[in-house]
Amino acid sequence: MELIRQMNDYRLTTAEILYHLPDHPAVLQTYIWQELDLAPRYPVLQAFLDFWSRHLDGRLHSVRVGVATLITPGHWEHGEILTLQ
């Protein structure tokens, strides 16, 4: 299933989420989230952040997103020429 999603342009998405601790709002905590998602709209990440905002106490501060393509076209480079003896 994940291979099919990757072939449909899903990318490995990593989000660094900074949020305020509920008992100490001046202190920020980091949460790392990772899932296959569609850039640039990120519907899976948006659903997670919506869930967070509705159900968790730590108020969101910021979200930094990184994306990596897992399936890419083949790449070939010229290498060293070997001399056979």
Model confidence over 6-58: pLDDT tens digits? 777 888 999 999 999 999 999 999 999 999 999 889 999 999 999 999 999 99
Note whether residue 75 is domain-resident. no
Place of tokens 């399936």: 71
pLDDT at 10: 87
Using a 10 angstrom Cβ sphere, with 0-12 exposed, 13-18 middle and 19 or more buried, the burial of residue 67 is middle
pTM listed for this prediction: 0.77
Give the residue from 26, 13, 17 showing the smallest Cα distance to 56.
17
Confirm if 30 and 18 have CB atoms less than 8 A apart. yes
Residues of the domain holding 18: 2-68
Across the chain, how many H-helices and E-strands are there? 2, 3
pLDDT digits (tens, 9 = 90+) for 56-79: 999 999 999 999 877 766 666 666
Which residues does 34 contact at the CB level (< 8 Å), separation at least 6? Answer: 12, 13, 14, 15
Domain assignment of residue 29, yes or no: yes
Domain count of the fold of the chain: 1
81 inside domain: no
Does 79 map to a domain?
Answer: no
Residue 76 belongs to some domain of the structure: no
